[in-house]
Each structure stands twice: as C-alpha cells, then as structure tokens.
A = this chain, B = another copy of it.
Amino acid sequence: MVSIKDVAKEAGVAISTVSKVLNNYPNVSEATRQKVNEVVDRLGFVPNAVAATLSSKKTGRVALLVKLNLDTSASDEINMEYISGAIHKAKELQMDVITVFHSMIEDMTVDEVTSYFESQGIRGIIIYGITTKDKVLHKLIDKGHFKIVVIDAPMVNESTSCIGVDHAKAQYDIAKKTIEENKCKKVLYIAGEENGYVSSERLDGIKKLCEEKKLKLMVRNGQFSELRARQLTMRFSKNNDCVVCASDLMAIGAMKALIDMDIFRPVCGFDGIILMGYVGKQMNTVKQDFVQISERAIEELNRLLNGEKGRKVVMPHTLVRMKYEDIII
C-alpha cells in the first residue's frame, strides 16, 4: 500500500509538504505542487481516510441516522433514495459516511449515543425522520457536540441546520389542485402521526385551504398506516367527496378501500413514491426529490463542519399524477 511517505520520498520533499499539497494549503510553491501531484498520480496514491480522521479534528466521519420500517416497502424506497443521495454526494466531497439505524441507539442515553458516535470518529450527523418523542435526539441537538442536519423538522441552532420541502404549502397545493379538478366541497383529511413534525405542518396546509375556500373539513388520524387509512376511508368517505392523505401509503390504503367499496372519490397523497403506480387508479401527489434533499443535506453538513452556522433550507416540491404506465420500465 502506497502511503504519503512514499510520495514524499519519490517527490523528494517532506511528508508535511505532501500533506499541504493534498489539502490545498496556500503556502506551497506552484513548482512543488505540480511535482507532488505528478507523483501522486503516477503512484496512484489515495490518502488514508482512517489516518486522516484520527489525526485531524476537521476531517471526520458523518453518520446517516435512518428510521427503518421493515413492514412496508414504501419507506424503503424513500430511505434508499436518502442513503444513495447522501453517499454519492459524500464521496464527491471526500466525506466518509456510515449508516446507522434508529433501532441501534434507541435505548441509549445521550451520553452513550455521544460516546458511541465519538468512538466511530463521527463529527456530523444527518437525522432522517425525527419525531417530537425522540427525546435523546433532541438532547443531542441541544448539546451542540456534533454538527447536525435534521430532515423535515424545524430545529436550528449554532451547529444544527434543518432541511425539507415546505410541507404546509405542498399540502395546500396538492389538495387545492385535486379539489378544484373535482369540484369538491367536503374533505376527509387523513393525517399522519401526532408526534411527527411534518404531520402538523401538512395539517396546517389543508386547514388553510379549507378556510380560504370555505370547505367542510373532517380530520382523522391515520398514523401513516395504510390499514388505518383504509379503515377510516371505509367509515367516513361516504359523507365526504374527496380524500386527502398526508402520505402516499395512506392514499393507497384509501384508494384500495374505495375500489373495494365500489365508489369513486378523488384521492391525493404525499411523497411521490413508485408504489403509487400499482394501485390501478391515478392519484395526485406531491413529489419530493429525496435524493436531492439528501445531497443538499450533506452539503449543508459540510458547511457546518467548516464552521458555518446552522440555518433553515427549504427545498422545492412538484405536483404529479401517478399511473402504472409512468412507473413501469
């Protein structure tokens, strides 16, 4: 294995000089810079990231904290896009990434989580899917020990940024489109779980719309569960003329229920997952670009790691209509 020492010897300079070239330090003459780079290329030298993180306090690893739900493939699709986006962007920025699941730290204290991450050389974390009930994570954020980017939750401080689409506006937009297309008057809204940040934001969106357009609004809690949405639809859809759901999975449950009941109601979802194409009926939904969101999260984390302050980043969303023909390839 070729090390920085080999490069230094071959180029006839000191190890520290090679290091400076590699890390783009200013005080290096153009001549030596070129010489070193030439040797690096010729020898195919790749700096050892492990040694770098041990030595430096700047170079550090980043953890993706993902919430897994093995019961439905809907979350797999989203998580896979998150992970893929993050890992690819991290490679581009030469950041070292590991994936961690909530379940791995769920019964740890803040201190335990902290030392676990420290032991892994981690300096930054991206948290996907935090709820108000995740006390330990909130403490972790407050502590400010790690640089953190939170997806879809409004947490910002010195060392914490948050990122996500405007859920209230997105919910407003997609519901408005669906309702106007079908001239609806009475809306059944199937909300997410009470502890989710996005749930309440999306709820605000539909409430605003119904107030503005003087629509009758019935809100029921679907817990992001397909089955629950199915049951709620069975029970309440007859007295309403459309079903707005806070997630695609619930929209699928609702639509399947309507098909079984043999009645028609327009249904709209939220997320834009491929699964939506398998239901047999077209539905409107909000498309979030999870890959792009995750890439952006890595960039934001990189900013924090470089000493900049936390802030809020809003990502764009689009409205789409999904059918089988679109997703089959």
Contact = CB atoms under 8 A, between A and B. Distances in A.
**Interface residues of A, dominant DSSP:** helix
B99 A1 contact: no
A71 B291 CA distance: 13
Interface string A96-116: 111111011000000110011
Q: Copies per complex? A: 2
A48 interface: yes
A232 to B, nearest CB: 13
A104 B86 CA distance: 12
A162 B115 CA distance: 35
A54 B327 CA distance: 46
A8 to B, nearest CB: 17
Contacts of A285: none
A108 to B, nearest CB: 11
A317 to B, nearest CB: 19
A282 interface: no
Nearest to A252: B278
Contacts of A313: none
Interface stretch (A76-84, A168-176, A178-186): A76-84
Nearest to A92: B104
A32 to B, nearest CB: 23
A49 B121 contact: yes
Interface in A311-329: 324, 327-329
Given A68-B80, A73-B274, 16 more contacts: A44-B111, A45-B115, A49-B120, A50-B121, A68-B84, A70-B81, A73-B275, A76-B77, A76-B81, A77-B77, A79-B80, A83-B99, A87-B104, A96-B98, A227-B328, A253-B328
Interface of A: 1-2, 44-51, 53-54, 61, 68, 70-73, 76-77, 79-81, 83-84, 87-88, 91, 96-101, 103-104, 111-112, 115-116, 118-121, 225-227, 230, 252-253, 256, 273-275, 278-280, 291, 324, 327-329
6 contacts: A44-B112, A48-B121, A70-B84, A70-B291, A73-B274, A88-B104
